[in-house]
Amino acid sequence: MSQLVTGEAVVLQVRIARMPTRALACAIDFVIQAIALATILGFLLGFLIVEASPALGAALVFITVLLVLVGYKVVMETLTRGKTLGKLILGLKVVRDDGSSIRFRHALVRGLLWLFVDFAPWFAASPGIVASLMNKQGKRIGDMVAGTVVIRERHQPMASPPLFVPGHLVQWAQSLELSRLSDDLANTTREYLARYLELEPDARIALGDALAYRVGQVTAPPSPVPIIAPAFLSAVLAERRRRELARLATARATYSTPAGPFGPPNPYAAPSALPNPYAAPAAPPNPYSVPAGPFAPPSPYGAQPAQYTPPPPPQSRPYPGPPPPAPAGETTKVNPEGWHAPGSEPDQWS
């Protein structure tokens, strides 16, 4: 990691591209340039052999080589703001010393010095390699003159560090006052813990002590027992994360519980059923109907006769009816043999 200071005095943390990565990007660009140069010279070969003089042929070859080797880098870095095809493949980018994008003049200076100084054949292509190895930001001579630096624009995402609270400090961590711990300081501490193993031992101890002091100034109470800076920072961030997760869980439970007819709508509730677009529309109200009720307007035709209601049927007769007729006397039927016939009284004989 390296720091670039912008014109507004803002410090940027960037990854500097080192010599092996830049050499691989340069090799990719050189292969592309060689293909383009061979293609162009192939088209010019017939003209150079048949019609051109030796001086003209040498001039055309020199101009073609210059345009391909220098023009390719200048045009690509100007149009893409600091990238060639090789840099684009490997995730590299050329920026100015203040972190801003380069312009045509920066690309032109870098391209000319790349060909005539850094990797010039009469210098055995050594000045650029030696300068890049000796400079802490990996700059070659062209970068020093143009005021540029090559950075790694694409890198692996930073993994979240494992946060934990030692067992004998759990009660102390739960009693911490963390309201004054800002997000910026917490993120800086998290970055330090994530890159703890990548730092040099001296820088690791110095940066950890400085962060522990800053975090200790905005948290209370202090640790009851001596603890190293990484463990202290890990415990503080672990407790902060635990409280954030608890707060989110509480908020989600509040939204999922019905709050009554006047409560806020539940954002996690299932959407209500949509109306049936094929249902028959409801009949419109009759505009000529007279509203009912005691406040209805009077009839324009005067008082209307009450509607006839038939009386209910009587429950019993109001007067006694005639007595039922007496049953007629039964005659005894006798068969020719003198026996009793069916339908006559059993005790009557003739």
pLDDT tens digits along 141-189: 999 999 999 998 865 555 566 788 888 888 999 999 999 999 889 988 9
Higher pLDDT, residue 239 or 331: 239
In angstroms, the CA 41 to CA 12 distance is 45
In angstroms, the CA 277 to CA 110 distance is 68
Higher pLDDT, residue 114 or 199: 114
Report the pLDDT value the prediction gives residue 99, as an integer from 0 to 100.
Answer: 81
Q: Are 42 and 135 in contact (CB under 8 A)?
A: no
Q: Is it the case that residue 117 has pLDDT exceeding 60?
A: yes
Report the pLDDT value the prediction gives residue 319, as an integer from 0 to 100.
Answer: 45
Report the pLDDT value the prediction gives residue 195, as an integer from 0 to 100.
Answer: 82
Show me where the domains of the chain are located: 2-152, 167-251
Rg (CA), the chain: 51
**Block residue for tokens 């439970």:** 253
Q: Other C-beta atoms within 10 Å of 128: how many? A: 23
Q: Are 80 and 88 in contact (CB under 8 A)?
A: yes
Could you tell me which of 230, 227, 223 has the C-alpha nearest to residue 204? 230
Report the pLDDT value the prediction gives residue 166, as an integer from 0 to 100.
Answer: 84
Q: Is it the case that residue 197 has pLDDT exceeding 50?
A: yes
* Amino acid (one-letter) located at 338: G
Query: What does each C-alpha distance from 34 to 39, 41, 42 come to in angstroms?
Result: 9, 10, 12
Paired residues of 5 in beta bridges: 11
Each residue of 139-150: pLDDT tens digit? 999 999 999 999
Longest dimension (CA), the chain: 172
Paired residues of 4 in beta bridges: 12
Which residues are within 8 A (CB) of 166 and not within 5 positions of it... i.e. 6 or more apart? 227, 231, 235
Q: Give the model's confidence band at 267: pLDDT under 50 very low, under 70 low, under 90 confident, else very high.
A: low
In angstroms, the CA 103 to CA 107 distance is 6
In angstroms, the CA 230 to CA 189 distance is 9
In angstroms, the CA 144 to CA 146 distance is 6
